[in-house]
Chain A
Amino acid sequence: MASKEEILAGLAEIVNEETGLAPEAVEMDKSFTDDLDIDSISMMTIVVNAEEKFDVKIPDEEVKNLKTVGDAVSFIEGAQA
């Protein structure tokens, strides 16, 4: 199981690949839409890549609750079984 720090680093890598944003810009309190300017389509790509990387399921209806990077990290941490 990945730790919070590992999940954050992994997510930062995925975000970087999708958007070109520097990994260090992906911080826990950053909002995907407002701070990182990630649109709904990129968000879905990030979600699917995160599912693969961390071997978790992130249902469509859950995606809209993932407002910040921290929300996503917590969800993935909880979804790891």
Chain B
Amino acid sequence: MSTPTLKQSPVNAGSRILGIGAYRPSVTVTNEDVCQWIDSSDEWIRQRTGIITRHRAPKDVSVVDMAVGAGAEALEKAGIEPSQIGAVLVSTVTHPYATPSAAALIAHRLGATPAPAFDISAACAGYCYGIAQADALVRAGTANYVLVIGVEKLSDVIDNHERTISFLLGDGAGAVVVGPSDEPGISPSVWGSDGSKWETIGMTHSQLDIRDFSEQAMKGDGVELAAADEAYATLWPTLRQDGQTVFRWAVWEMAKMAQAALDAAGISAADLGAFVPHQANMRIIDELAKQLKLPEHVIIGRDIADAGNTSAASIPLATHRLLAENPELSGKLSLQIGFGAGLVFGAQVVRLP
């Protein structure tokens, strides 16, 4: 018996972003609102973070709802039917079920069933991780059209009285359709992780701690759920960060990675139309731009001023806004870099839809 030859997927020459969508939730939280919870001022917050407002979703709007909103717009802009989608990748850390995934339900709600669908846990680098995978899936012929969504409802995992990160955070979703292209539209991704800094950004405690605490409380083992507030703070995991360590890494290490992405793409900063870093803090954005010596014509995504830090959603949201405000950017090159809890990072140059 002769050994049969395996068939492999036919490859596509290139890949590119075909359309982009956004969902911005309805509730606007001002710095004055924030100052009811922490001892601060509008001026202090603006000076240190560049944030003026952030958008947050009401209780009845979920991660899945926001993702479906952004995904539907991306499909429409790309001119792709949901039935043509070959994979749905959803980057999020705030879908409140460990399983099943947000992606399977989002694919179903968009009418993309039975496309393979899965969640990516890469925090603020999640969208760039999604683009790296979509590019590989499309060029390898594993999927022809891939829907990549970055979505977060960070307002579910903050403690309003906490000062290291909560006041920066907002909710939202951004989505793109990646498909085949004759011309290269997504550069090689520069991505990675550094687990030695695992503890610098993340949740206060794990789900197992909730289980153990609840068990103790039920048995009355010296744990009293006295005040509802205190119980909430003790039980519900919320985000924290070591701001100084993260800032140093986010600027000086990420500037090197952003430059590496330009080098991998075979272009220089002068070839860019836009620079869209993760919207973590305006001062990180400013310092990154300075380190990269971006020429003046490069338009920088500064959506953080109004949207706050929306983790995996921040880059597609900021890109969506740049394109709405500067339609001439369509077809130009944008350097995007995501970085965050893990620590993880991902960067690539993309041709804007």
Chain A residues packing against B (C-beta within 8 Å): 39-41, 43-45, 47-48, 60, 63-64
Q: Could you list 20 examples of A-B contacts with CB < 8 Å?
A: A39-B47, A40-B243, A40-B244, A40-B247, A41-B48, A41-B244, A41-B247, A41-B281, A43-B244, A44-B244, A44-B247, A45-B287, A47-B248, A48-B248, A48-B251, A48-B252, A60-B242, A60-B244, A60-B248, A63-B244
Q: Does B40 contact A (CB under 8 A)?
A: no
Q: Does B214 contact A (CB under 8 A)?
A: no
Q: Does B283 contact A (CB under 8 A)?
A: yes
Inter-chain contacts of B245 with A (CB < 8 A): 60
Q: How far is the CB of B43 from chain A (nearest CB, A)?
A: 12
Q: How far is the CB of A14 from chain B (nearest CB, A)?
A: 14
CA distance A43 to B243 in the complex (A): 12
Tell me if A's interface is mostly helix, strand, loop or mixed: helix
Inter-chain contacts of A43 with B (CB < 8 A): 244
- Could you say which of A41, A48, A60 contacts B283, with CB atoms under 8 Å apart? A41
CA distance A48 to B243 in the complex (A): 15
7 nearest interchain CB pairs?
A60-B245, A44-B247, A44-B248, A40-B244, A44-B244, A41-B283, A41-B247
CA distance A71 to B283 in the complex (A): 26
Q: How far is the CB of B194 from chain A (nearest CB, A)?
A: 13
Q: Is the CB of B48 within 8 A of A39?
A: yes
What 0/1 readout, one digit per residue, does chain B (265-292) give for beta carbons within 8 Å of chain A? Answer: 0000000000000000101000100000
CA distance A60 to B196 in the complex (A): 13
CA distance A41 to B47 in the complex (A): 11
Q: Which interface residue of B242, B244, B252, B281 has the most chain A CB atoms within 10 A?
A: B244
Q: Is the CB of A41 within 8 A of B252?
A: no
What 0/1 readout, one digit per residue, does chain B (217-253) give for beta carbons within 8 Å of chain A? Answer: 0000000000000000000000000111101100110
Q: How far is the CB of A5 from chain B (nearest CB, A)?
A: 28
Which of chain B's residues 269-325 have a Cβ closer than 8 Å to chain A?
281, 283, 287
Inter-chain contacts of A44 with B (CB < 8 A): 244, 247-248, 251
Inter-chain contacts of B283 with A (CB < 8 A): 41
Q: How far is the CB of A54 from chain B (nearest CB, A)?
A: 16
CA distance A18 to B245 in the complex (A): 18
Inter-chain contacts of A64 with B (CB < 8 A): 244
CA distance A45 to B244 in the complex (A): 10
Q: How far is the CB of A75 from chain B (nearest CB, A)?
A: 16
Q: Which residue of A lies closest to B44 (CB)?
A: A39
Q: Which residue of A lies closest to B249 (CB)?
A: A60
